[in-house]
Structure 1
Amino acid sequence: MDLEGKRIVVVGGSRGLGRGLAEAFVVRAAEVTVVARNATAVQGPGEQPAVTAISADATDVDAAWRIMDQTRPDLVIMNAGAEPPTERIDRIGWEAFTTNWNVDVKAALHWVQAALTLPMTPGGLVVLVSSGAAVQGSPLSGGYAGAKRAQWFIAKYAEGLSAELGLALRFRVIVPRQMFTGTGVGDTGIAAYAAAAGRTFAEQAATWPEMTPRAFGDMVADLIGRTGLAEAMVYAVRGDTGVTVIE
């Protein structure tokens, strides 16, 4: 998939991995729209990417349909999500436990439904950004791991329905298999596991390979540009091993 001139919507693209993805698409000459609660964070100083910014709640079903209809994207990146709670399983309440189900899963469902029902232009690609927690769990993060795994099933169900209806749309999953400093989810997780292990934040962060959100964005953008994610359903991305296929 040649990204030049492609209409790309990054949901949850104002900071962290989403911002790294948006920046990577911009330098590849794509037409990028970022959807975020605080769209003003996307526009401003010269170091920020030149994108169209839309303020919206990613879990708002009406916003998902409206933005999809207005932008008619070739590629949608669903990166929106909540910072997970950090508590042991014996201490966490149900409301906190379901935080990521009510944000990450809900947003993924609404945007995938909009892509299928409008529908997107044939050849369109929807990518859900999951988490390594979906593979190995995260005992200090409540329902986060389950929520991020549920995104895999949403993508698989949508892929099957697209084939059944002849929509020629693809639904894929990218799994960042490490924590990233300087991101909301990464810093929250690193701090929680550092405290549990009796380590400093820096010591815990050092257990993961070095990789910036922008480097992550470049790796994903290059992968999409090269393959269109046609070779598999779920891909892992990590600073030391690069891109690997999960399934």
Structure 2
Amino acid sequence: METIQDQTVLITGGSRGLGLAMVEALLRRQAKVTVLARDSQSLAAVEQLGAKGIQGDATDAALMDRLVADLRPKVLVLNAGATPWMGSIEEQTFESYSIVWNNDVKATLHGVQAALKAPMPKGGRVLLASSGAALVLSLPAIRAEAMRLSGGYVGAKRMIWLMAHNANSVARTRELGLLFQVLLPLQLVGVTGLGRAVAAAYAGRAGTTVEDHLARYGAPLRPEQYGEDVATLLTDPRYADGVAYGFRRDTPIAPLDA
């Protein structure tokens, strides 16, 4: 699509952090944005920006089915997720290890299924929020030792990447005209709750400060740049058929598909 103006957009987990940055960027382009989030106070702030807020849980399959069927969004952004419990493998319980699977992966699965069931309008885009952590044990690679405190987070974010490919296969087979794409911020975003929690855990184990840990990754990716980049992804024909894209401070959007 060459413009997002007047297009219906549904964003899960859009009331804070990178989700909110996407909401703001799309509102600036005059999209009709609806945000699904759990926190009523955060939703009230989003509504003041001009978006419509719906309080609810993106892991609720029936709710996602109903919202996608009713709204028929041209763009669905599956961004809802939880902050992982940070600890090395001998400190984890299965419950702590599974937090991101039970939130991020579950919410993404139900969102993907809702898009395929409805189905969304032809030409629609579904964006799945992953992480640069998904590059562990892949090429280009992040060393596995560098993510030793992140529990099931790495595998969960890798699974979300795979889910985009699985969904595209179904969409092609059924000739739905939908494109599923995965978003991978390639740097810790220290100003978000998730980025701060991750940086604090690793900095604490290394006996350094959060700022020193974040400095290892270079100039930080800003939420506002990420939001603008995602809006560009949706409207620039160069990004109209790839699946995986990476985002880094002051650099072009990077295709990550082999």
TM-score by length of 1: 0.95
> Could you say which residue in structure 2 is the equivalent of 1:144?
153
- Change in Cα spacing, 1:228 to 1:81, as seen in structure 2 (3 Å) is farther
CA deviation profile, 1:169-224 (whole Å, cap 9, x unmatched): 11010100111122121011110111122211111122232222122101111122
> Could you say which residue in structure 2 is the equivalent of 1:90?
90
**Helix, strand or coil: the match of 2:127?**
strand
**Helix, strand or coil: the match of 1:34?**
strand
Decide which moves more: 91-100 or 35-44: 35-44
The partner residue of 2:198 within 172, 189, 192 is 189
Gaps of 5+ in 1: none
Q: Which runs of 4+ in 1 moved over 3 A?
A: none
C-alpha separation between the residues in 2 aligned to 1:39 and 1:231? 36
Deviation at 1:225, TM superposition (A): 1.2
TM-score by length of 2: 0.91
> Could you say which residue in structure 2 is the equivalent of 1:32?
33
C-alpha separation between the residues in 2 aligned to 1:234 and 1:181? 23
The partner residue of 2:178 within 169, 180, 186 is 169
> Could you say which residue in structure 2 is the equivalent of 1:222?
232
Tell me if the contact between 2:34 and 2:54 (Cα under 8 Å) persists in the aligned partners: yes
**Helix, strand or coil: the match of 2:11?**
strand
> Could you say which residue in structure 2 is the equivalent of 1:154?
163
CA deviation profile, 1:22-79 (whole Å, cap 9, x unmatched): 0000001100001100143132499x52100000101011110111122110001111
- Change in Cα spacing, 1:100 to 1:78, as seen in structure 2 (3 Å) is same
**Helix, strand or coil: the match of 2:91?**
coil
**Helix, strand or coil: the match of 2:44?**
coil
- Change in Cα spacing, 1:45 to 1:219, as seen in structure 2 (3 Å) is closer
- Change in Cα spacing, 1:222 to 1:142, as seen in structure 2 (3 Å) is same
C-alpha separation between the residues in 2 aligned to 1:139 and 1:109? 26
C-alpha separation between the residues in 2 aligned to 1:45 and 1:225? 23
Supply the RMSD in Å over aligned alpha carbons.
Answer: 1.5
Gaps of 5+ in 2: 137-143
CA deviation profile, 1:65-118 (whole Å, cap 9, x unmatched): 111122110001111111011000122111100111101100010010010011
Tell me if the contact between 1:43 and 1:49 (Cα under 8 Å) persists in the aligned partners: no
Say how many residue pairs are matched.
246
Q: Which amino acid aligns with 1:130?
A: S
Tell me if the contact between 1:43 and 1:50 (Cα under 8 Å) persists in the aligned partners: no
